[in-house]
Chain A
Amino acid sequence: AQSVSQHNHHVILSEAASLELGCNYSYGGTVNLFWYVQYPGQHLQLLLKYFSGDPLVKGIKGFEAEFIKSKFSFNLRKPSVQWSDTAEYFCAVNANYGGSQGNLIFGKGTKLSVKP
């Protein structure tokens, strides 16, 4: 079965530190990849997505992610975090298989706490 692994459960950083959140998926076929963010008290919001093309994708608020097919990875990065980035981050995969459209498979999420 397809699965998504997020390596870190809780990450604590100081403002201006660099961020990298790991995400690996298990599926050998064509996938679409997403990062969603959930700020405290808010709904899930799309941060960025990868469908095809340039494996380095840029999202909102200075986030970017790199798709490395050989490693089945889609890590999220930000050069300098801000206190307002405190949130929970979810990696998700949409796998099309067997002629039917798949649906989003989420990782367990990574809580990011940024200290001012």
Chain B
Amino acid sequence: DAGVTQSPTHLIKTRGQHVTLRCSPISGHKSVSWYQQVLGQGPQFIFQYYEKEERGRGNFPDRFSARQFPNYSSELNVNALLLGDSALYLCASSFRGTNQPQHFGDGTRLSIL
């Protein structure tokens, strides 16, 4: 069975640019969550989507946005990139949004120059 897939694997951008990261959940999973993991820290919650609606938002600026498509895949968009946005961005999926363990992808490593 395919796990959670994320693309691209690595990305290099410069300050001020925008970026789109993509995630395909495990087949049958309807909930997708996004996390940011800075080096040396645990993942920090950004967004959760369930049945194409935003169900949760972490403490991130409005430069971060996301959406979920009818096939339950998801995109994370970040505008006006800052050096501090350099991190590993993780996508996790679960069958439902509540009381379900989340399954993580390998992440997208974003480097801002």
Residues in A lying within 8 Å of B, measured CB to CB:
4, 32, 34, 36, 42-46, 49, 51, 90, 92, 94, 96, 100-109
Contact = CB atoms under 8 A, between A and B. Distances in A.
A32 B99 CA distance: 7
Give the one of B43, B103, B105 with max A CB within 10 A. B43
B56 A106 contact: no
A24 to B, nearest CB: 14
A25 to B, nearest CB: 12
A106 B106 CA distance: 17
Interface residues of B, number: 26
A103 B101 contact: no
Given A44-B90, A44-B104, A90-B42, A104 B33 contact: yes
A101 B98 contact: yes
Contacts of A109: 41-42
Nearest to B96: A101
26 contacts: A34-B101, A43-B104, A43-B106, A44-B90, A44-B92, A45-B104, A46-B102, A46-B103, A51-B99, A90-B42, A92-B42, A96-B98, A100-B55, A102-B56, A103-B33, A103-B45, A103-B48, A103-B56, A104-B43, A104-B92, A105-B45, A106-B35, A106-B42, A106-B43, A108-B41, A109-B41
